[in-house]
Amino acid sequence: MVTELVKLGDGLQVYTQSVLETQYIYDEIFQQGCYSTLELPDKPLVFDVGGNIGMFVLFIKSTYPDAEIVSFEPMPDSIDLFGRNMDLHGHTDVTLHRTALGSKPEAGVTFSFFPMLPANSTRYPEIKEQPKAQMAQLSDAALADQMYFAEKVTVDVERLAAYLPADRDVDLLKVDVEGAEADVLLGIDDAQWPRIRRVVVEVADLDDQLERVCSILRAQGFEVTPQQAPLTDAEDNYYMVQAVRV
């Protein structure tokens, strides 16, 4: 894995293996404010499903320095960079679980890891056919093939229910897992949902995934608001789903 220490806006530095993708994520989170409407207590407990290299964690810590964060990331290269970025910024109250999450425990599940676009890594590589085709149309097929070249990685899958605290509220559950969003939500027991105060989910609306996610959240007592994701066009079918307990 070839990595770089890159400087983003406002002097933020991170270790990454994909400068282009990291700049995009920085713009999405820090500049476009896809999480800026969150209203959390001063010392929130945040669950971060899809930790990647830690950009979301760095944003939360920049806004809520006393936040306690529990992250989940299954890809080995991203796990390494996540740890390096937490060390770089001195964040010791962040816990990283090296596992994927889903609706049931499974061993030895194959994921597709994209070295050029690691944040796009997924259990469901078919959802990347549309953005790959769009890239091929806008640039050329050879570049699209290069950017979406996938390595197979075998990981275990657990349910989020196994990690949620029994005696504390979760102030925010963030889910960004490239096609497995409904799986993650179905991995929460009904009795645990009342302790989750707010949810934000990034969803690629393929095969009615957006409606599945919204229906699960509404059934658990949330007011749900889906909006087009920042830095995307309508035909991209990417949404940010905000859910607040009512």
pLDDT digits (tens, 9 = 90+) for 57-87: 999 999 999 999 999 999 999 999 999 999 9
What per-residue confidence (pLDDT) applies to 116? 93
- On whether the CB atoms of residues 6 and 22 are closer than 8 A, the answer is yes
Which stretches of the chain drop beneath a pLDDT of 70? none
What per-residue confidence (pLDDT) applies to 2? 85
pLDDT (tens digit per residue) in 195-210: 999 999 999 888 899 9
Integer Cα distance of 230 and 124 in angstroms: 22
- pTM of the predicted protein model: 0.95
What per-residue confidence (pLDDT) applies to 152? 97
- On whether the CB atoms of residues 243 and 224 are closer than 8 A, the answer is yes
Rounded to whole angstroms, the maximal C-alpha distance in the chain is 53
- How many other CB atoms sit within 10 Å of the CB of residue 15? 19
- On whether the CB atoms of residues 198 and 232 are closer than 8 A, the answer is no
Q: What is the DSSP letter of 12?
A: -
- On whether the CB atoms of residues 101 and 183 are closer than 8 A, the answer is yes
- On whether the CB atoms of residues 204 and 226 are closer than 8 A, the answer is no
Query: Three-state SS for 14?
Result: strand
